[in-house]
Chains A and B, each alone.
Chain A
Amino acid sequence: MKRKSLTSSFSMNRAEESTLDMWGEYVLPIYYKEYNLLQNEKSTHITGGRGIGKTAYLLYHCYPTILSSKKDKITNNELERIGLYVKPDSELLVDMTSSVLDDKWIHAFNAYIGLSIFIELSKFLKTFLNAPYHDEQMKDTIKNLILPQRIVKFLGIKKDIKFIDYEEEGHMLRSDLIDWLCNPEDTFPFAFKAKEKIETFIKVIKNIEIFKNTKFHIFIDEFENLNNEQQQLINTWIKHVPENTIYNVAYKKYYEPTVSTIASESIQPRNDYREVNIEIDLIGEENFKLIAAEIIINKIQKVFDDKYSNLQEYDLNYLSNEKFIELRKKDEYKNKIDNIINKMFPDISLKEVSKLILKDTLLRGKVSTSIKEALGKNSDFKVEQFIDDSKPEESILNAILLHRKRINASILLDNFTNNIEEYAKWKNNNLFGAILYIYNKEKINRRCPYYGGFKHFIEQSALNIRHTLELVLQCFIYTEKQNNSFKNLQDIIVNIEYQANVVRDVSRNEFDRKIAYLGTYGKKLKKIAERLGKLFELAHNNPAQSFAEVNLFAFISSAEEAKLSSEEIADSELLLRELLMWSVVTERDNTKKWNSSQNNSLKEYRLHPMLSSYFGISFRKKRKYDFNYSEIKTIFLGTDVEYQELHKKYAEKNNNENENPEEITLLDMIK
């Protein structure tokens, strides 16, 4: 029974799939205190990458969580700020535009948002009736709160109704809206300004003593699904803040919504809204591992209805409680979490992987073959001289170093036999590359175990919690398939071999069965990911590993720029933004520019590390290709024939670089 719920608990890894009540489910980010959205007196633009938990963050501030029946009690303070979550039907919004409805679009959109929020207000009151607020008299007052006819007559409601009963009316009115959308030539049934009417409804609620100071925060999720005009109207509401309502919007990182309003003014950051980037402001790369581990442990503890012994002292829902954030920042606590999660998903060192290779006949054979090929006709040495089970890392390195033209086999052998300290720099720079090179020769039958381990799951997830949860879910499913079961919390250990297999499957799934389906340009994004992956693969499969672990790229300015039309530049930039928005590639600071004349990018890019295992490339941030404009055009927009030419060019370049063995990364220089 428990095993089943463990996998089903992880398969529902989207906030939308579970309850709207996030109390005890949502793990508060470490820097949450400064980013409690309900504290703001002005609007917030909330951005976050795919899978970072935007929706869960918004829902944490909304009434189902605030009024959660899982809480012991609700204080009056908590009632001063209430969030309402809004995610419009994007497939309906598409046609709510001036190009389809002429100037009636604004009535339709106002009505859609207004009618929906009226329902939410009614549901808020209804939810309150079941909330742990221990004043039955107050609840009776709320139950009998009336929406007077004068306030609702614009909706065609001709009598006073109880506010909590509005919901039923509201659904019918939304159906009337649908009817009108099918017959837009008819007179619009209820033209009204949503912002003003929402205020009127709220004022009725504020007549209740405990809500007299309440302000409502409305969170519009997936703002990118609203078109330009619809965004402009919301911006107007952001610009001219009503007394009791604050409008906030959330959208994917790298999406750029309009800042215009329906008037000539525009909204400005700081003056009109503040920006919160979930990855940077709330979580921080350094805390992602902790939060991911907490989310996983929290889910597992709930499934088993038990706590790990070293977490016994914490309240059941402590992860959703602001009071416990300081405690969670302490090393003592972090170590407890680390111990649990690392025991569950143990990792393996490169030295251990090297030993495994030498113990495995198939892989050892690949090491021998590589050494043999490097030695060629040189009969002064024997392959066996370069392999020693007591020196596993050095033996693996020999398989690539001997391919380097500047390395003298005799000196290398001397070092291997008498002076292995000489290998230190290569271990740092080349060992993982060499290991991948060997495993890639047996891609079908063997999986490199170094992709496993929780800390590597985290690196490969690159701030996408959905990836981490998928890896964990698949690990549990895989373990079950091997007829192993987890009977209690201490039982949950996934061996490294299973983990590596799972990483490959999840990686392949991400490439094969996800990217092409993302957004409008999915097919193109998949093609670009494939082209990049294959170029990185080339460097990884170079026997000399002279340019190891390449998985980044940057753009360099060159004379080639002149050859690109402005349309080609625009298309490439659009696709780059889509790649980033859907996290097919990730971005970080770089020293080189994309277009010096526009001076618009100082970034470098990485193929999402969740794709690394599929291509057999490194997930560590190491080296990069510098692509000129023309190469970028080929990768992003070129025909298959043009790309094959580029691939060939890089294959040749790779061979020539075997002459240049001592490629050093910035990381090495810092070390």
Chain B
Amino acid sequence: MKLEFMKIKEYLSIDDFECTIDSIFFYGKKIDDRSIRMVDFISAQCKYGHEVLYKNKTNSFIMNDISIKFNELEKAMSESIKKNNIKNIVLESTSLGYTELLIILLNLSKRNSSIEITILYAEPLEYTKKSENELDSETYELSEDYHPHKYIKPFLLNEPHDFISSKAATLISFIGFEENRLGRVIEKNNDDNKYNEFIYIMPVPGFKFGWENISLSKHYHLIDNYKEIHYAPADDPYETYRILEKIVENNPSKKIVIMPLGTKPCTIGASIFLVNKKIENKYDIATKFDFPIKSKNRSKGISKIYEYRLKLV
């Protein structure tokens, strides 16, 4: 079944959010003020909570401290939903990583029963700046390190993308605050030459007035062709989805690789898009990621809360 947007709602405080106690709640690691606050608050509201973490090295998950194989997550989720006769699922996306979010949504889309999915996201009050001294050329350090790029299964191109396959792909990259992430992709492409076209999606308007300028100023030197920039509001997965759909429809026969290196709401939009396109099975679309090791206390405080409600159709 496909995922469909039902509504988008904003809250000034998480205290205003309510969910039925019989919901299942999926969440990730608590690493900063907002993820701690969000996870703790929702944990208290929902009867069933599952922490889900992706392990890059073994391509597996840890669910509630138990290691499970990548494809076993579907079964584990399914059992929990079935056993408790659940109709509502809450995903706390501030703490969930991209892989976790994408695969949880994919697994939910495989269900036949009707369920409602609520994705929550808390904007930070501010991101933690690096110490301001002349040696630091970066303002923000949201990630400590990155891993080598790799695909997230099953979102692979139809064929290995290498010396045999002659067609270069189009890369659709979301832009955030860390130019290193896009820089690594572009520099690697100098060696691999896998992409012959780059399309960027900028978070405009940003969460806060002026934040889009930070994204742009950090990336301008990496962007060759400004005609290939699209804009999606930092907090709007629906608009993100719409833009991705437009891009893909204009390039129906191309290999497309999506890398969500931008805001979490844009990542949510990209995830929903990828899941739906997987079900349609019309295009050759993949996603790759760099699996950043997020810095501790990467953000401070908690600002607006967004609720994105989806249903399966």
Contact surface of A with B, Cβ cutoff 8 Å: 14, 16-17, 85-92, 94-95, 99-100, 112, 116, 119-120, 170-171, 174-175, 177-178, 181-185, 222, 512-514, 516-518, 520, 522-523, 527, 530-531, 534, 640, 643-644
Contacts and interface: CB of A to CB of B under 8 A. Distances in A.
B133 interface: yes
Q: What secondary structure prevails in chain A residues at the interface with B?
A: helix
B59 interface: yes
Given A116-B160, A527-B135, 11 more contacts: A88-B160, A91-B148, A91-B150, A116-B163, A171-B164, A175-B158, A178-B159, A182-B156, A185-B69, A185-B71, A640-B135
A85 B136 CA distance: 42
B136 A640 contact: yes
A95 B71 CA distance: 14
A90 B183 contact: no
Contact of A91 (B57, B69, B180, B288): B288
Given A86-B163, A92-B160, A116-B160, A520 B145 contact: yes
A523 B146 CA distance: 10
Interface string B174-210: 0000001001101110111100000000000000000
B180 A181 contact: no
Contacts of A170: 164
A181 B71 contact: no
Contacts of B191: 14, 16, 222
A643 B134 CA distance: 12
A520 B146 contact: yes
A465 to B, nearest CB: 14
B58 interface: yes
A518 B185 CA distance: 10
Contacts of B147: 520
Interface in B273-313: 288
Of the candidates B149, B164, B192, the one having the most CB atoms from chain A within 10 angstroms of its own CB is: B164
A585 B97 CA distance: 36
Nearest to A102: B69
B162 interface: yes
Contacts of A90: 148, 192
A174 B156 contact: no
A94 B160 CA distance: 13
Given A516-B183, A530-B135, A178 B150 contact: no
A100 B58 contact: yes
Q: What secondary structure prevails in chain B residues at the interface with A?
A: loop
B285 to A, nearest CB: 13
Given A92-B151, A94-B150, A514 B162 contact: no
Nearest to A84: B163
B163 A85 contact: yes
Contact of B150 (A95, A171, A174, A177): A95
List 3 A-B pairs, minimum CB-CB distance, nearest first.
A182-B154, A517-B183, A517-B187
B230 interface: no
Of the candidates A17, A514, A517, the one having the most CB atoms from chain B within 10 angstroms of its own CB is: A517
Contacts of B165: 171
Contact of B131 (A86, A171, A640): A640
A63 to B, nearest CB: 13
Contacts, number: 113
B159 A171 contact: yes
B222 interface: yes
A151 to B, nearest CB: 20
A334 to B, nearest CB: 31
B243 interface: no
B158 A520 contact: no
B50 interface: no
A531 B137 CA distance: 12
B87 interface: no
Contacts of B9: none
Contact of B184 (A100, A183, A522): A522
B161 interface: yes
Of the candidates B136, B161, B162, B190, the one having the most CB atoms from chain A within 10 angstroms of its own CB is: B162
Contacts of B156: 92, 178, 181-182
10 contacts: A14-B190, A14-B191, A16-B193, A91-B150, A92-B150, A112-B160, A175-B158, A185-B71, A523-B180, A530-B137
Contact of B157 (A86, A116, A178, A534): A178
A87 B159 CA distance: 14
Given A16-B191, A16-B192, A17-B193, A516 B162 contact: no
A184 B151 CA distance: 15
Nearest to A101: B59
B71 A174 contact: no
Of the candidates B69, B145, B160, B222, the one having the most CB atoms from chain A within 10 angstroms of its own CB is: B160
Contacts of A112: 160
A608 to B, nearest CB: 16
Nearest to A511: B137
Contacts of A517: 180, 183-184, 186-188
B153 interface: yes
A413 B131 CA distance: 50
B221 interface: yes
Contacts of A89: 160-162
A245 B153 CA distance: 34
Nearest to B58: A99
Contacts of B148: 90-91, 94, 520
Contact of B159 (A91, A175, A512): A175
B45 to A, nearest CB: 35
Nearest to A523: B180
A517 B306 CA distance: 33
Given A14-B190, A95-B153, A522 B159 contact: no
Nearest to A92: B160
Nearest to A172: B159
Contacts of B163: 85-88, 116
B160 A100 contact: no
Given A86-B163, A99-B57, A182-B153, A14 B193 contact: yes
